[in-house]
Amino acid sequence: MSETILLDRPSAAVEPRPQPPLGLLAEVTHRCPLRCTYCSNPLQLDPKSSELDTETWKRVFSEAAELGVIHLHMSGGEPTARRDIVELMRHAAEVGLYTNLITSGIGVDEAKLDALVEAGCDHIQLSMQGADEGITQRVGGYKGGFERKQAFARAVVARGVPLTLNAVIHRMNIHQVPEMIEKAVEFGAKRLEIAHTQYYGWALKNRAQLMPAREDVDRTIEEVETARERLKGTLVIDAVFPDYYARYPKLCNGGWGTRTFSVTPSGKVLPCHAAETITHLGFWNVRDHSLAETWYDGPAFEAYRGTSWMKEPCRSCERKHVDFGGCRCQALALTGDAANTDPVCIKSPLHESIGAMATTESAVAEPGAATYRGFRAG
């Protein structure tokens, strides 16, 4: 951390010792068959050669269970790209973690699905780029993806495993929200997440191509509320709407270093999925420190945990224990300083300019082609 940053921050008060974490996002690989335009992984992906080996991941899961973690979200990239995914799933279940596989569904044949279920997979979350083949291919850059996802969803439900569909919403597919809701019912999903794109990493690179118009967002809110009422008892619908049109920021990741954390394919332990964008932070690695050491004492976790790091207007705000100043990664991306107020907040001097930026970008009828993600093995 630079001397300037340290001098600019308010004097630190002693924060209470944090409670144990509840959830772990284990990004076991960045390899992925999809090339999504909104990819939330960092611009610099971890190559295969840097990935943690089987025994190290198993140790991480054991330490997570000992630390108090309840939910393990096994993600990527595409987690099933790892040959040891079934072994990892079995170990996680054996140490008592509730296991959620977050997958594209592509490349997971019935034999592998059976093996994962037998190993103890408790829940599966399937990404959904669109409600038909055309939009799915346009967003994910993969031909034939929708048909494979349909087949995978039905195979999961047929085996009695709870299924959540995760639909990341943006300009390219926002018109299909009603159809996505109907597809979730058709597939037999228990839950549907309508999550608007968060503009970090690759999505920030494509923001002009992805930003939806305010009127489309407002319509989506009404569509979701109507569907929730109609499908009560059949389908749970969670919704996250665009920050850029909001009045107050969301509680980012349950609070920095408060409820959950992530481990990258190469073993870095992060307070949130996008934390590596804050480049002045030092992230401890599971190769060098235990999860408990990192959770309680890691410098990256201490940096923005609690409220003592806050500057004004957050420091004296009545909402500081509600949203903890919003998203640190978004504050950095839009203001240049991760300690600033998240500029989507109405108390930020940049609030109006952020809304105007979104309105301007979404009004461009032909914003140009989005840049697809890619992965190079190494």
- 3-class SS of residue 351: helix
What's the one-letter identity of residue 327? Answer: C
Q: Which residue has the tokens 């996250």?
A: 240
Interatomic CA distance for residues 75 and 21, integer angstroms? 18
SS3 360: helix
SS3 at position 102: strand
121 in a known ligand binding site:
no
Would you state the structure tokens that stand for residue 229, as one six-digit string? 């009422």
Sign of CA dihedral 169, 264, 74, 330: negative
Pairwise CA distance, residues 63 & 251, whole Å: 27
Q: Is 345 annotated as a binding residue?
A: no
Q: Is position 272 annotated in a ligand binding site?
A: no
Q: Are 56 and 287 in contact (CB under 8 A)?
A: yes
Q: What is the DSSP string of 4-24?
A: HHHHHSPPPPPPPPPPPPSEE
Q: Residue ranges for the binding site? A: 32, 36, 39
User: Residues comprising the binding site for [4Fe-4S] cluster?
Assistant: 32, 36, 39
